[in-house]
Structure 1
């Protein structure tokens, strides 16, 4: 066979082999090494799209195709569980205007009837347009909306020291709304908090409920201690490294599955792609549609 004919044939074989590989997809080893696309979690519903911790924000996350949302829960003066992040009402409602003589406007100093008069859409925190009628929802109203939308929930117990017995109240509401059945516990619910004591109380009362600890960024030593009672660590994304992610995944959470990492709050594409490449399991964001597209979920 002439040399040039052999070279041409070899080149053709190489091209055919490459085409076969492309058709067949990555090898099992390559596929196993590639990290899964992280879950996208709407922060406070979808705080970049509608006033935070409102039903409108939850609906905006749903319209963006986001199956999970994170919200914060506190308790009113008369014992109603409501969605609110801050200890006071100043940043996220028009409380200064509606109740000018009630400083410092602490959440627990207001009855639910009073809280329901406030507008989240008229708050200093909301920089967008529209949603003038958005109000503070109850936990029960949220659970009904999530069931309607088919969304999952990261329920953050906020400032539990301000509300003695709040974890029991939360569990009672979850139970009354059907959220402590096997389906919700296995597929659609995590209870999270910065306060380990609150999570341990939930674990003691309802061991099957999946839990997540929030932290600025726990040390690798703390990861092992957290894994004894939680399933997820929710760290500040700014402190993460690939090594940290790998060490977390080497541990198993309280229900026997690899410990998950769901960092917060990631609102731009570049860090989201980096975190996805490191293999984080979820990303919490104010702009879920944007981040979903950045990591291949759009």
Structure 2
């Protein structure tokens, strides 16, 4: 059904693309809606969740980056998507006897030895799995904004408090960051509720697509509902926007993961507030013409 909706919508959207172009130049600092968020950094062009992917997003002029945080055996927060090191590092070669190569079974020093770039391309050989501290420093260096996902919180008891403590130590819980530059998200409603209880001023996003009837109870602690674009509809976006979130503003919608112009235009026509993408340049060009 979604495919038919996209197809039916595309012609009308393309015919009105001029209406989506910014009145002002975003490169001059004007905030555009929907926001374009680089998924795991600019992950179509550099290995996901590495500092190289953050740098690539910055080079493309993308202001929002998304990443994933998990915890090592000795308690270090690191930026990686899978709960296993196997897909995006050479852990299987470096530590052949340690299957299934779970992040939580390796120390930070062991993970720091791994090559997290060669799987993507030889140009990135030697890229490392960054710690969350290193990642925050790089995002700050580029004056970017951060959509931070707490990944697999059920595997890491207390990870919410630990993440917030690190954010605070790195200056990311001051008013400027909380207001304009930081959103913490998770697929776990319990984890997100914990974040809200520990730091009520931090904006939060619930990944997934709860039933419309359940949305009011999530709006108590979630500022955003972030579903897959493939399951989204204009009616659902309207239902989310009708709710008031924990900070007294309408609950927003960030849709993921959109990597082509046609889909970006169709999803934008649903009135979403953000588009999460591996190809932020493609989406931005489709929506705003540059």
Length-normalised TM-score, structure 2? 0.87
2:278 paired with 1:286: yes
Q: Which residue of structure 1 lines up, in the alignment, with residue 224 of structure 2? A: 232
Q: Which residue of structure 2 lines up, in the alignment, with residue 118 of structure 1? A: 114
Q: Distance in 2 between matches of 1:80 and 1:184?
A: 23
Q: Distance in 2 between matches of 1:97 and 1:203?
A: 40
Q: Distance in 1 between matches of 2:95 and 2:146?
A: 32
1:168-207 mapped onto 2 (5 Å cutoff): 168-207=161-200
Instruction: Return closer, same or farther for 1:90/1:160 CA change in 2, 3 Å cut-off.
Output: same
Name the count of aligned residue pairs.
260
State whether residues 37 and 296 of structure 1, in contact with CA within 8 Å, keep that contact through their aligned partners in structure 2: no
Q: Distance in 1 between matches of 2:221 and 2:91?
A: 38
Q: Which residue of structure 2 lines up, in the alignment, with residue 254 of structure 1? A: 246
Q: Which residue of structure 2 lines up, in the alignment, with residue 105 of structure 1? A: 101
| Aligned residues: CA RMSD | 1.2
SS in structure 1 at match of 2:206: strand
Q: Distance in 1 between matches of 2:42 and 2:129?
A: 15
2:161 paired with 1:161: no
SS in structure 2 at match of 1:251: coil
Q: Distance in 2 between matches of 1:130 and 1:258?
A: 44
Q: Distance in 1 between matches of 2:233 and 2:173?
A: 35
SS in structure 2 at match of 1:280: coil
2:47 paired with 1:51: yes
Q: CA deviation at 1:38?
A: 0.9
2:77 paired with 1:81: yes
Q: Distance in 1 between matches of 2:250 and 2:220?
A: 12
Gaps of 5+ in 1: 1-25, 27-35
Q: CA deviation at 1:222?
A: 2.4
Q: Distance in 2 between matches of 1:129 and 1:238?
A: 33
2:89 paired with 1:96: no
State whether residues 37 and 297 of structure 1, in contact with CA within 8 Å, keep that contact through their aligned partners in structure 2: no
Instruction: Return closer, same or farther for 1:285/1:129 CA change in 2, 3 Å cut-off.
Output: farther
Match of 1:267 among 259, 265, 271: 259
SS in structure 1 at match of 2:117: helix
Moved over 4 A (4+): none
Q: Which residue of structure 2 lines up, in the alignment, with residue 276 of structure 1? A: 268
Deviations 1:231-285 (A, max 9, x none): 0111010011111111111111111111110010001111110111121100000
Q: Distance in 2 between matches of 1:219 and 1:55?
A: 36
